[in-house]
Amino acid sequence: MTKGPTPRQVARAENIARIKELALAQLAGTSAGELSLRAIARELNIVSSAIYRYFPSRDDLITALIVDAYDNLGQTLEEAGARGRRGPRRRWLDVCRAMREWALAEPHRFALVYGSSIPGYRAPRDTIAPAGRVVVAFSAPVCDELGAREPVAYGDSWSRPGRVLASQLRVSADALELDLPDAAMLAVVAAFARVIGALTLELNGHFVGGFEPADALFDALLDDEATRLGL
């Protein structure tokens, strides 16, 4: 017989979930680095040291939150970019808008993954796979579009990448299992940088007094970038 998880195991899973939940709530109020394990313990009616049965240190909790955030964002983008009757351009725009909506809805989580790294915190290996998921979802529409095309026709305005860069582009594309020619991969990275940059600026208040709300600006940037991507 298949023995299900013991009561203790489900209790543990529930507690871990609750801790992450409370941590997230706390993070929403303030921002990274302020996260207090003791405060979480208090809200959990648990003595502070008991938290360490679930997460060996504060950094481990944060890492878990980061992985969750990547996964959550990745899934959101995947859903937004799911094939439908829309063309690739429209789908890519939808993915980007979904990304912005996610970021605006949960700025603390965006900061967690694309913001400046936490005090002394070094991203462990665990985070790189889920991070890739986001990039893959981001570039999926571009891959689809180019799959149906003559690759040579792409990217007239991009100068041909040099040896080093070409090699890096190949390594990165392979690591993510993206079927993109060099120039396209380069364009994707450029687009990603622009989107992340725009969101970073918006979320950190660099548009205050100028572009706020930044909806129109963001749409204009996306529109241009989509053309640039050959969509």
DSSP label at residue 212:
S
Considering only the stretches 33-41, 103-111, 123-131, 223-231, report the one whose residues sit in contact with DNA under the rule CB under 7 A: 33-41
Rule CB under 7 A: say whether 30 interacts with DNA. no
DSSP character string of 22-59:
HHHHHHHHS-TT---HHHHHHHTT--GGGGGGT-SSHH
Rule CB under 7 A: say whether 124 interacts with DNA. no
Residue 96 near residue 82 (C-beta atoms within 8 A): no
Indicate the residue among 7 and 209 with the shorter CB distance to its own copies.
Answer: 209
The tokens 């900061």 sit on which residue? 111
Rule CB under 7 A: say whether 7 interacts with DNA. yes
Out of 25, 28, 50, 165, point to the residue binding DNA (CB under 7 A): 50
Residue 101 near residue 119 (C-beta atoms within 8 A): no
Q: Where are the alpha helices (DSSP H) in the chain?
A: 7-29, 37-43, 58-80, 88-105, 107-114, 128-147, 163-175, 182-203, 215-228
- Contact residues toward its own copies (CB under 8 A) are 30-34, 111, 114-121, 123, 128, 131, 157-159, 161-162, 164-165, 168, 171-172, 175, 186, 189-190, 192-198, 200-201, 203-206, 208-211, 216-217, 220-221, 223-225, 227-228
Give 199's Cβ-side CA count (13 Å radius).
Answer: 26
Indicate the residue among 4 and 120 with the shorter CB distance to its own copies.
Answer: 120
Instruction: Calculate Rg over the CA atoms of the chain.
Output: 21
Contacts of DNA in 127-186 (CB under 7 A): none
Considering only the stretches 50-58, 71-79, 138-146, 147-155, report the one whose residues sit in contact with DNA under the rule CB under 7 A: 50-58
Residue 68 near residue 90 (C-beta atoms within 8 A): no
Out of 18, 22, 24, 39, point to the residue binding DNA (CB under 7 A): 39
Indicate the residue among 56 and 197 with the shorter CB distance to DNA.
Answer: 56
Give the x-and-dash track for 51-70 against DNA (CB under 7 A). Answer: -xxx-xxxx-----------
Residues of this chain that interact with DNA (CB under 7 A) are 3, 6-9, 11-12, 15, 35-39, 46-50, 52-54, 56-59
